[in-house]
Chains A and B, each alone.
Chain A
């Protein structure tokens, strides 16, 4: 019976393979600089997990995930910046003890919303919660009014644009277009060394695996099936007695929280956060990463994110101008020809192979599964 097992063996093996790849193979095979790049790509993977739940399962396309990635990243950056702005380190400023960009912008005191970020505990809580809170407000305003589909996607784009403008405009509070830079230590531990980057890579990878497992549990719960049902027949779900808006708000908040965690890990590994990760273009890129890998497969989205970013880095080292076009072409190809991305391709080519293996497995199991057993395994996707 699958009932006793939290995840089916097939899924567990796939997770283990991915874990071995990012926690074992890549660290052994790559030089520190390349590994740090992979670490950066993996932070986009958090966003991909959220997009699979939100877009792939529930059918809610958000073209504004950069908002939440950025918010998580900014929360972490604010903490690190405050730690780097001790009165001693900033004694040449007219107001020592505040971040340098505030001083340049004639601020004389730390703004109120920066103060809680002196606390690491608060920051760690804020990284998923601030994005989730904004998602909750957006979701409440949109989904309760039954705004969905294209309108919703456009509104998330607009919010991404507005937030970028706000961040750039409010230089004194946000660091403006340069973002929050020159981040040095985390509780006194220098995050700029190769060793620190290696540690952060493993922390980030481990967190990603944990989030992947959590997302798989959500998908295997009845809530996961309701999300799919909602994508197909929203009305029917309503008339089965569910408040559809609440489910949409929930999954949008989960996607936002995941993106926020990704953003924070990005800040830690890359050492800065700027509005260039918040706006329209990065938000669309995040969707493309997930779409290429496969929007209905958690692991597919992760592999897709790694592959597209690897391609992007390789390409833009040689042909930076062509990359945007290549990316656009890739997106169109995926949407038109392979709506389930690479994961769909793999599944289609693996399914016949697995079917051939199945008779042998049946011999090993003396009791053939009953119809209901098969039905109960149906939740696996």
Chain B
């Protein structure tokens, strides 16, 4: 029996209600270091809300989120990021008015205080790291472009790159391949496989092929609760899951 502190992320009894409606209801799950966990479930199951709760965007009504033994529910968003949690949003969330280079540079984890940002120098380590990440996300030739000019898929990659440059211990991705073309999907799967090593990842995804491809374990959410949890094989053959989700 392992103590919760041994897990990278321990979510216990997490609950949030919006005007009496419990979007997440007494939810518990545990994520190991280096584990790739995929959360699936029907629309409105509360998947995005779970990520919002972990990263501090939404405040929990009850329950706890412990990350590396540290309670996150009382921290502010930027403190949670600095503790090592990175979050990608469901719709691409990048700075359209800035260049690809600047988008990545802002995410570089240095000079995050007001005066640190004033004194920040674009030195060799920054340039190298930006270039390195840019080549990972297929955007090196576009470093000087304004992010506005990127395609939808490229914007998704850029946001993933902005997370990678933070080098978080836990990476949370909300539907990373949604809205992508087939070839973009393939490239993204390849990208994720390469970068998902050495860190824990929490992915929300509807694309079953993609899920089967990357997941170590799968958690199925339904009405804010865990419906089933285990390997992809296990959840796929769980009759409850087939009924509410996969059967459609």
Contacts and interface: CB of A to CB of B under 8 A. Distances in A.
Interface string B71-111: 00000111001100011010001111111111001110101
A377 B112 CA distance: 22
Given A240-B107, A378-B101, A250 B114 contact: yes
Main secondary structure on chain A at its contact with chain B?
helix
Interface in B103-147: 105-107, 109, 111-114, 117-120, 122, 127, 131, 140-141, 143-144
Contacts of A240: 81, 106-107, 162, 166
Contacts of A237: 106
A3 B122 contact: yes
A236 B96 CA distance: 12
Contact of B102 (A223, A238, A379): A379
B129 to A, nearest CB: 12
B74 to A, nearest CB: 15
A218 B112 CA distance: 15
A3 B122 CA distance: 8
Contact of B95 (A228, A239, A247): A228
A378 B144 contact: yes
B93 A236 contact: yes
A238 B77 contact: yes
Nearest to B82: A241
B95 A236 contact: yes
A3 B124 CA distance: 11
A297 to B, nearest CB: 14
Interface string A145-171: 000000000000000000000000000
Interface residues of A, number: 32
A182 interface: no
A244 B106 CA distance: 13
Contact of B81 (A3, A228, A239): A239
Given A240-B81, A250-B114, A222 B87 contact: no
Contacts of B111: 222
Interface residues of B, number: 41
Contacts of B81: 238-241
A226 to B, nearest CB: 6
Contacts of B160: none
B133 to A, nearest CB: 13
- Most chain B C-beta atoms within 10 Å of own C-beta, residue among A218, A226, A239: A239
B55 to A, nearest CB: 7
Interface in A214-250: 218, 221-223, 225-226, 228-229, 232-233, 235-244, 246-247, 250
B69 to A, nearest CB: 20
B117 A222 contact: yes
B97 A232 contact: yes
Contacts of B166: 240-241
A375 interface: yes
Given A371-B144, A378-B144, A233 B131 contact: no
Contacts of A223: 114, 117-118, 120
B96 to A, nearest CB: 6
B141 A247 contact: no
B97 A222 contact: no
A239 B113 CA distance: 14
A233 B93 contact: yes
Contacts of B186: none
B57 interface: yes
- Most chain A C-beta atoms within 10 Å of own C-beta, residue among B100, B122, B127, B144: B144
A236 B94 contact: yes
Nearest to B119: A221
B95 A222 contact: no
Given A222-B111, A222-B118, 18 more contacts: A221-B117, A221-B120, A222-B122, A223-B114, A225-B102, A226-B117, A229-B106, A232-B96, A236-B162, A239-B55, A239-B57, A239-B87, A240-B107, A241-B78, A241-B82, A243-B112, A371-B141, A371-B143
